[in-house]
Chains A and B, each alone.
Chain A
Amino acid sequence: MKYTEDHEWLRVDGDVVVVGITAHASEQLGDVVFVELPEPGTAVSTGDEICVIESVKAASDIRAPLDGEIVEVNGDLADNPGMVNEDPTGKAWFFKMKVADLSALDAMMDEAAYNEMIG
C-alpha cells in the first residue's frame, strides 16, 4: 500500500489502482454521513477534487492522486457512508482508476513513511 500527503491510500490491483482514505483521516474527519463520487469514465489530473466527504463536522475533498481515468466507484458508500469509519482501508474504498504510469507510485510514501508523517 502507498500513501499520499492528503491521507489517501493506493493499492495496485492488476492494471488499476484502488484509492481510499486512511484510518487516521477517517478518525480526524469524524463520523462520515455523506459521500459524493465521480462518474466512472471521468478523466482526472493529479490534484483534481473528485470526491466530497461530509462528516458530522464539515465537508472535505478527495483529490485525484495520479493522472488517469476513473473506471469504477464504490456505490455502497452512497448508501452507507459510515463504512468509511468502520473499514476505511477495506470495504470503504472510494474509486478505482486506470493510470498512465504505474511507476509514479514508487515515489509515494510507504506505510512506515506515512506513519512517521502523521506522528
Chain B
Amino acid sequence: MADLKRTVLYDLHIALGGKMVPFAGYEMPVQYPMGVLKEHLHTRAQAGLFDVSHMGQVILRPKSGDAADAARAFEALMPVDVLGLAEGRQRYGLFTNEAGGILDDLMFANRGDHLFVVVNAACKDQDIAHMRAHLSDACVVEEITDRALVALQGPAAEAALARLVPGAAEMTFMQVAILDWQGVDLWISRSGYTGEDGYEISVPDAQARAFCEALLAMEEVAPIGLGARDSLRLEAGMCLYGHDIDTTTSPVEGNLGWAIQKARRAGGAREGGFPGAARILRELAEGPARRRVGLKPEGRAPMREGTQVFAAAESGAPIGAITSGGFGPSIEGPMAMAYLPATLAEGATVYGDVRGKRLPATIVPMPFLPNRFKR
C-alpha cells in the first residue's frame, strides 16, 4: 500500500492480527481476528480500544495570551458557542462555508490558556489550512504531530482506564483533563463516537504502544477496527463526514441544530457572524426543505449508502438517498440514515431500491440504540 501513511500504532495492529485497509490516506485496521460483529458487541458489553491517531490534533494558542481572543476568532468559523464553553469542557463543532455547507465536524476543548481541537483525518490538511488562513491574526495554529490518539469505549472503559489513571473515573461527560500516567501527560476527554461511555486519550508517540498494551492486557479491553467503529457510530445516530454531512448539506439539514447554541441563533448575544449564517439562521427559523432522518428497513436486507429512496412502492421519482446504511449488531437488524423531504414525519413508510426491488422502511428517531454517556 504505497503512499499510505501509518500511525505510530501500526506495528501493534499487525501484531494483533489487524486486517489493514486504506482509510483517509492511512493504513488502518478494519478489523482484528475477533471480526466486526463481535468487536461491535464487545464494545457495547465491555470496552473497546480504537486507534484514531489518523485524526488531526490541533492547538489554537492566542497570540495575546488571552484565551477569549482565540475563542472569539474560532467562533467566526462555526455556528457554535465557543466563548461560552467553560474551562475543562469539550464541545462538538462544525466548520461551515459561505453557502452554509459543512466543511468538517470536529471536537474542541477549552484548556484554559488555549483551545484543543480534533478534526477528521480525511479533512485535516484542509482544516489546518482553513484555520491558518482565518485564525492566524489571533492564534498560533499548532498541529500536534508527535502524539497518538486512542479511544476507549464501552461500559467497562471507566474501570479499565481508572486502573492506570485513577482520576479518569471522576471525569464527567465532555470533560477534558490532563492526567499523569507513569510520568507522561495524557490529554483525556470523556467522550467518543460509539454512543457508549468512554474516553479519547492523546498520548505521546513514544509511550503510545506501551499505553495501549497496558489497556489490552486487561480482560475487558479488546482492540476494535474501523468496521465496528462504523456500525457503532451508526447505531448511535452519529454522522460520518463525507457521507452523512458534507459541503452540500447544512447543519440544519443534517439535523445538527442541537450543535448551534442559543448565543449564535437569532436573538442570541452573538447572533450570526459565521460563514453561511444567512442560510443557516433562515433554516433554523423556517425549517429546511430536507432533513437527515433515521430509517429502519423492514426485514433483514441492509440498505447501503447510495440507495435511492421513494415515496411509493410502485412509481415516482426518488425523494432522497441513503447516506449511511448497514446492519446494527446490537439492534439485530438493518439501519440507515437518509436525506428526505422534511414534510415526511417520523413513522412514515418510504421505499428503498435494493437490487431493483423497492423495500419498505420506516422513518424513526435516532439514535437507533439509546446512548449511555456518563452524564
Contact = CB atoms under 8 A, between A and B. Distances in A.
Q: Do A and B come from one complex?
A: yes
Interface of A: 30-31, 33-34, 36, 52, 54, 56-59, 78, 81-82, 85
Interface stretch (B65-73, B202-210, B299-307): B299-307
Identify the interface centre among B30, B37, B40, B304: most chain A CB within 10 Å of its CB: B37
B302 A34 contact: yes
Nearest to B329: A56
Contact of B231 (A54, A56, A59, A82): A56
B302 A30 contact: no
Interface of B: 30-31, 35-38, 40, 227, 231, 300-302, 304, 326-327, 329, 334, 355
A31 B30 CA distance: 13
Contacts of B38: 31
B300 A31 contact: no
B300 A30 contact: no
Contacts of A33: 37, 300, 302, 327, 334
8 contacts: A30-B37, A30-B227, A34-B327, A34-B334, A54-B302, A56-B36, A58-B304, A59-B304
A54 B327 contact: yes
A38 to B, nearest CB: 13
Nearest to B36: A56
Contacts of B329: 31, 56
A10 to B, nearest CB: 25
Given A54-B327, A57-B227, A31 B302 contact: no
Contacts of A85: 35
A58 B231 CA distance: 12
A56 B227 contact: yes
Contacts of A81: 300
Given A52-B355, A57-B227, A31 B301 contact: no
Given A34-B301, A56-B231, A58-B304, 6 more contacts: A30-B31, A30-B37, A33-B327, A52-B355, A56-B36, A59-B304
Contacts of B334: 33-34
Contacts of B327: 33-34, 54, 56
A52 B326 CA distance: 15
A77 to B, nearest CB: 11
B233 to A, nearest CB: 14
Contacts of A59: 302, 304
Nearest to A82: B37
A58 B40 CA distance: 16
B235 to A, nearest CB: 12
Contacts of A34: 300-302, 327, 334
B37 A56 contact: yes
A103 to B, nearest CB: 34
A36 to B, nearest CB: 7
A118 B46 CA distance: 36
B295 to A, nearest CB: 16
A31 B355 contact: no
Nearest to A78: B300
B331 to A, nearest CB: 12
Nearest to A33: B327
A56 B232 CA distance: 12
Contacts of A82: 37
A36 B301 CA distance: 8
Contacts of A31: 35-38, 329
A52 B40 CA distance: 23
A54 B302 CA distance: 8
Contacts of B302: 33-34, 54, 59
A80 to B, nearest CB: 11
Contact of B36 (A36, A54, A57): A57
Contacts of B301: 34, 36, 54
Nearest to B37: A31
